[in-house]
Amino acid sequence: MRTRRLTVVAVAMTLFLTPLVATPAAATEATGSGNLSTKDDAELLPALPPSKAPATSVAAESAPSGSCAGKVQSLAAVAKARGDEIVPCMEQSAPGGPKKLVRPEARVSALVPLPDWCYDHQYEGWWQQRYGTCRIHEWVLVVFNASTFEITGEMYLTEVSYAYTSWFRLNWNLQTQWSSTGGWGNVSGAVMKGYAQCSIYCTVQQLIFPDQSIDPFSLSTVDGEGGYNSVIQTIDEIRDAVGAISVYVTVPTAPPSNTVSIEPPLIRCDASFGGLAGCIVKGHTPIMQYSLTGKYAQLARHIRDAQNSGLRGAYPSGPPLNHTTDTGIHAANRLVSCGDAPTIAGLSCDEYPPASTYQGAARQPNPSVSGRTFPWCNNTLPYPHTTGPVGWSRCMINAQHNSEGGGALSTFYLTNRVIDNDAFFIWVTP
């Protein structure tokens, strides 16, 4: 496929910064759908699935390990030094939580609504798409007697946190909502407090998290939101950032509880597209979609056949493709795959893997003899056709499907910020 060159209106070395927003419009931008490149076929395409944040990423699971049993002695020492009789402590509840949330329960009008896929993975840690990552988690505020360590009260809490970015902004937001779902004992008068911090390559733009009462007996809710800016300054920079909100609880006649850090997976920011800067959730591999019944049907058919013959890039079986921004590699890939293609009115030569990938024809072992094609493709190759993961494919397809489908891939690279060597999949759907 021939990816079109995008014209990006930008002043050299200028990064576009916009004020922090948390509006329904911003939520639409932040869904991470990946369907922007094929929006005319949106009704034909299934919703793109999220992925679980890798366990090896920073803060894939930011909840503290262990329970309050390992912290109560040190917390009690602080309480006794202050002359307090009780001490509060936050700990995770048992996996699975007391109940499953239905979609409306975790929505507050002041915050951006969660994407539907967040509810499908509650109590499973952080899940993510290209422009959003969320977690639904259960906690217990436990109140101990500072002298006997006897539990004298509990409050059950549901945390719903969501970080979202934009492909054309250098700032992002993290919102968190905590709801009490019940409790007992001396937990009345509890107040939740929060603060925001950046640990690498970002600054806190603002925090909206006033001190808020949270009561187990009235099933109350508190919420807050932090805004963060990337610190990148030049077109060449690519930076990973970690922004978080930390919360703790106070109850009357007690020291503050331990602090819980809500720290999403890594956010990556860059200005690689002609100075147009933006940020994504780094750990999610984006997915380009084509439909066999969409605007680029013949292109989709060739990709499907090429993938079914063993070539890489298919979602979800993989392995993925890797984008290259080197135009010299693009040209070399096209020369090998389509340089001797026939001239047929209304048709043009399509190659797979795309010429804009490091797996294109020129990058394959023995590229001059590792091609393949298919009976419907209106061309022949002068050597035996190959199968399996090594090699490339070409097909003479509808020229408009080829050109516009390649343009859709270029748009996908931009709107998903698929920079050099980034992995991505191509998913062909009915």
Quote the pLDDT of residue 34: 37
pTM of the model: 0.83
Q: Take residue 332 and report the two structure tokens written for it.
A: 């070399």
pLDDT band at 73 (very low <50, low <70, confident <90, very high): confident
pLDDT band at 100 (very low <50, low <70, confident <90, very high): low
Domain ranges, ordered by start, for the chain: 68-281, 285-429
Quote the pLDDT of residue 45: 55
pLDDT band at 35 (very low <50, low <70, confident <90, very high): very low
Quote the pLDDT of residue 200: 84
List strand residue ranges (DSSP E) for 50-150, in order. 51-52, 86-92, 127-129, 132-145
Q: Which tops the pLDDT comparison, 23 or 50?
A: 50
303 three-state secondary structure: helix
pLDDT in tens, 262-311: 999 999 999 999 889 999 999 999 999 999 999 999 999 999 999 999 99
Quote the pLDDT of residue 155: 94
CA 3, 358, 417, 246: dihedral to nearest 10 degrees?
170
Quote the pLDDT of residue 112: 84
For residue 98, whether the previous peptide bond is cis, meaning omega lies within 30 degrees of 0, is: no
Quote the pLDDT of residue 426: 98
Spatial contact of 323 and 420, defined as CB atoms under 8 Å apart: yes
Q: What is the mean pLDDT of residues 81-105?
A: 69
Q: Is the model's pLDDT at 2 over the cut of 70?
A: no
Q: Is the model's pLDDT at 369 over the cut of 90?
A: no
Give percent of the chain with pLDDT exceeding 90: 63
Quote the pLDDT of residue 352: 98
pLDDT band at 386 (very low <50, low <70, confident <90, very high): confident
Cα 90 to the center of its chain, rounded Å: 28
Task: Name which of 24-33, 163-172, 195-204, 301-310 the model is least confident about.
Answer: 24-33
Q: Is the model's pLDDT at 359 over the cut of 90?
A: yes
Q: What is the mean pLDDT of residues 339-361?
A: 97
Three-class secondary structure assignment of 91-111: EECCCCCCCCCCHHHHCCCCC
Q: Is the model's pLDDT at 385 over the cut of 90?
A: no
Q: Is the model's pLDDT at 354 over the cut of 50?
A: yes
Q: Is the model's pLDDT at 13 over the cut of 60?
A: no
β-pairing verdict for 238-250 and 267-273: antiparallel
Q: Which tops the pLDDT comparison, 385 or 156?
A: 156
pLDDT band at 218 (very low <50, low <70, confident <90, very high): confident
Give percent of the chain with pLDDT exceeding 70: 82
Q: List beta partners, residue 182.
A: 156
* CA neighbor of 156 nearest in space, from 126, 187, 121: 187
